[in-house]
Structure 1
Amino acid sequence: EKRAVTQIGKDGYPDSIYINAAKIFQGLRTEKSSGKILLRYGGTSESTTVAFKDEQSRRVSYELAFKALKYQDLLEEMLVDSKVYPCYSIPDELTSLLVVMLYDLQDRKFQNRKIFAGEELVAEVQEIGDYLYSYETKLAAALARCRIKHDALSIEYFVPETISKQEQRTSALPICFWINTFKISLEDVIRDLEMKGFTKVESVSDFDHYTYAVDQHCQDVLVFPSSLKEELLNLDLFADCKLLLQ
């Protein structure tokens, strides 16, 4: 039976992902000096326990949180410029959720998100989602004004330089997956990858998109081009913990 995994795409995420991403964001967000504070974030006295349904839910939650962190300055400016913030019906403790959900909304080009089958709805997520969507036109206009103001062709302009340089270095490195030999053999992994259009090559110097190599020093490790990361993380092999990201 094929195991259900958290959807990744332009339809949004289950409510639990937003909640977890907001908690992660709250713990990692950049603290602004008093003169530069645009938004008020609640303290950390609320429950910060993050409970993940599975490995993919954990990964998606962290990815969403980190994406919001990358664009924290832009998202805060959008909320203030559009007059979406302050909203006195939304307590400071939910500001992180507001920012995380705004990142996702603009990433989906301000399209409404879908409700996932069997999803457990969270009242705060539904409330903030509806609130943001009711201001979609003003938020889109605020984003456009921010880009014009900074002469930015895309939102990538707003990524802090230190993060941008780090991402460039990381993206050049191949990614490695452990084969979980308790669940699958190397031969079965190779067979599965071949069925999905991957070609085995001798070394990383032979990489050409849908290719991979077996690590020369450890037969339980497969190496892939970094450009394939998103596709690999959506494979059943990863969702079923047969391949483990190093």
Structure 2
Amino acid sequence: MQYIKKHNTPPSDWDAWFTTATNVRSYNYRLDQDALTQLKFAKQHLIDAQDGLCAYCQKRIDMETASIEHVLPKEFNVEGSTNYTNLVAVCKIPLIDPIDKRDHCDKVKGNMVITPLIFLSNCEVTETINHAYFDVDVDGSILAKPRLSSNHKGQVEAFIDTLNLNHSLLKQIRANYVLACYVRALRQLKGSQQRQYWKAQFDIIFKDKRQPYRQLLLIFMAKKLGIN
């Protein structure tokens, strides 16, 4: 659910990173990865462009814990499947939900199609505007924003469900190790101090692009500050 800003033009070496030693441009990097000697540079570029966070769940990722993901599955657009505008970095470490036995992010998405909300500029929390599509609950749940039209709400809910972003272990991490610490600190404050606290925390996280679960925290705090 992280906003991924794709520039108008890809890195100058992008096509070279997806070209085999025999000078064949690959559109299936999984099939051709042994022949793509420079694929690691594409992966590193995506990780850096996303500030080291998974495009979907916003866990911290690096070269060892990340994989390259087609947002639009290659089955639906083979020649565009490895275009710069279609690839993001996501977490790859298997994590099975003990409740429903599902994984999350690209491991559960497979070749299913999702609305590419991560590429929409109004999916970025700013200092004056909250996220256009997602809401966050104190229990760590990611939800569709209540005021959405039924059509948009359905797309957001499908995005959340297809990627299993409310995987029980992810929710537990977000609630117990991320949101809870802020809520506990808040209980020590009263009146105007609470707003000052949220504003200070919002400003810190807003500036720290590498903060895990950054988008989720900003959505939660923006609500506390009355940013819609």
TM-score, normalised by the number of residues in structure 2: 0.32
User: Over alpha carbons, which structure has the higher Rg?
Assistant: 1
- Structure with bigger helix share is 1
TM-score, normalised by the number of residues in structure 1: 0.30
